[in-house]
Structure 1
Amino acid sequence: MTGPEILIETDASALAEVVADQLVSTLSALQSQGTTPSIVLTGGTIAEKIHEEVARRASDGRVDWSNVEIWWGDERYVPAGDPDRNEGQARVAFLDGVGVDETKVHPMPADDGTDLDAAAARFAAEVGTRTFDLVMLGLGPDGHVASLFPGKPTLAETERTAVAEHDSPKPPPRRITMTFPVLNRGREVWFLVSGSGKADAVARALTGSPVEQTPASGVHGSEQTLWMLDEGAASALPDELRPS
């Protein structure tokens, strides 16, 4: 595994277009090799922009979306249909319109009254020992990734692939998240970050901040780690880390 690569675009719109193009190219290349690609999606504002750009490219036929395995890196434990769910955002933005095979879509459990820890364990069993071709992640201003937050016990998990977060500092408080062991099984990991409010977290993650303070520091692709930023998110990077 080599060190992280950094790509900087002018603004969030330009970033979303570049990410969507690269996603389509990556999935198309994998399918041309006879692979059923597996991707882990993220939520958030930039994710919504990216998903909309992906939907605009669906008509070109480069990706057979019925032959893509789709997962989520974390989810808010709220009832099905709640607008807070990452799954719902992705479905509205692009999944419902691109012809996915529902048997290949793997949402995290919604709150149906089941105990949160039991729901997380059920999803962890579904993940099992699988690996992913691409893990797409956002980043919080505090350096959190998925729903792995600074100072939380979930950062110390070394075996389970998904765990419950009962008290997220960012509402809603109850969540399910993938853990470092499975995120780091991603062949490629892409961090997708926009906005100057996240610039300090980006700089900390890329300059070796401890995982306990900046959880994003603990996630790396087995083959590639790519940070895709807009100028705002990149504004605190030291000059030596900026692409020449």
Structure 2
Amino acid sequence: MTAPEVRRHVDADILVGDVASALLDRLEAAQARGDVPHVGLTGGSIAEALHRELARRAPDSSVDWSRVVFWWGDERFVPAGSPDRNSGKARQDLLDHVEVDPANVHEVPASDEVATAEEAADAYSAALREHGGGSFEVLMLGIGPDGHVASLFPGHPALSARDTIAVAVHDSPKPPPDRVTLTFEAIERCRAVWFIASGEGKADAVSRALAEGGSVEETPARGVRNGEIVWWVDEAAASTLP
């Protein structure tokens, strides 16, 4: 198990700026050594702010966006045009503003494209096997007030999924109820996992995730323990840490 690194920031704006800088630096370094970096995006308000900041900085960066491959840690199983789709928001805030190669953007199939969330999970798993390159350079994840990560919720059967990349999630305690998520095994294949948390509403979950004791069943974010793990938090989200 790897001890996570915690990077604390005064407020959400500084947090977003520092994460954007670190990600751009990491993508530039990966490309400089000849790699085509794979990045896992997430949803939520802090991710949306990060995506907008990346788009704003893109013209001054040396990142070749056509040589970055994009994935998602989880997705809501809703129609392709739904505002609930993480991928739709990421396109609106980032991908539509940089020179991406459409072939390098791998979305989870939507509910108007396949019949069930299980089919979507199988198709996404197959895409990762074919195009995933073995691991992500960075997977960015949020954390819910209940400690969930991606769409791995407390007490949910998906927490114990093994020997698979992505699984369907039903009866999510947070709407919409049907989702597709990467499993812990898939998440731990990433070179780096970056948790991004902002606001007092995340403070209890952050402290439980980083506590010495506790269970993954109660706080799923505790289930990510291998590899390079960084928690990017503002002071509000870190307010109950030691």
Relative to the length of structure 2, the TM-score reads 0.95
3-state SS, counterpart of residue 94 of structure 2: helix
**Matched residue SS, 1:132:** coil
Q: CA deviation at 1:221?
A: 4.7
Cα displacement string for residues 170-222 of structure 1 (whole angstroms, at most 9, x for unaligned residues): 00101000010100101111000001111010000001421100000011352
Aligned position for 1:137: 141
Residue 79 of structure 1 corresponds to: 79
Displacement of 1:166 in angstroms is 1.1
Distance 2:226 2:33 in 1: 20
Q: Tell me the residue number matched to 1:210.
A: 215
Q: Is it true that 1:119 corresponds to 2:120 in the alignment? A: yes
Q: Is the 8 A contact 1:189 1:221 kept in 2?
A: no
**Structure 2 Cα separation of the partners of residues 58 and 218 of structure 1:** 33
Q: Which amino acid aligns with 2:225?
A: H
Unaligned runs of 5+ in 2: none
Question: Match for residue 165 of structure 2?
Answer: 161
Paired residues, number? 237
Task: Quote the offset at 1:115 in angstroms.
Answer: 1.7
The answer as to 2:188 corresponding to 1:184 is yes
> Which residue number in structure 1 is paired with residue 178 of structure 2?
174
- Compute the displacement of 1:61 (Å): 3.4
How many Å separate the matches in 1 of 2:142 and 2:2?
21
Kindly indicate whether the alpha-carbon contact (under 8 Å) linking 2:24 and 2:61 is maintained by their aligned counterparts in 1.
no
SS of equivalent to 1:232: coil
Structure 1 unpaired stretches of 5+? 239-244
- Counterpart of 1:219 in structure 2 is 224
Q: Contact 1:187/1:221 (CA < 8 Å) preserved in 2? A: no
Q: Give every structure 1 segment of 4 or more consecutive aligned residues whose post-TM-superposition deviation is greater than 6 Å.
A: none
**Distance (whole Å) between structure 1 residues aligned to residue 125 and residue 208 of structure 2:** 29
- Aligned partners of 1:221 and 1:71: how far apart in 2? 20
Equivalent positions of 1:1-244 (< 5 A) are: 2-112=2-112, 114-128=115-129, 130-207=134-211, 208-222=213-227, 224-238=228-242
Letter in 1 for 2:26: T
How far off is 1:11 after superposition? Answer: 1.1
Note the C-alpha offset of 1:120. Answer: 1.1
RMSD, matched Cα: 1.1
TM, length-normalised to structure 1: 0.94
SS of match in other structure, 1:229 = strand
Name the SS of the counterpart of 2:48 in structure 1: helix
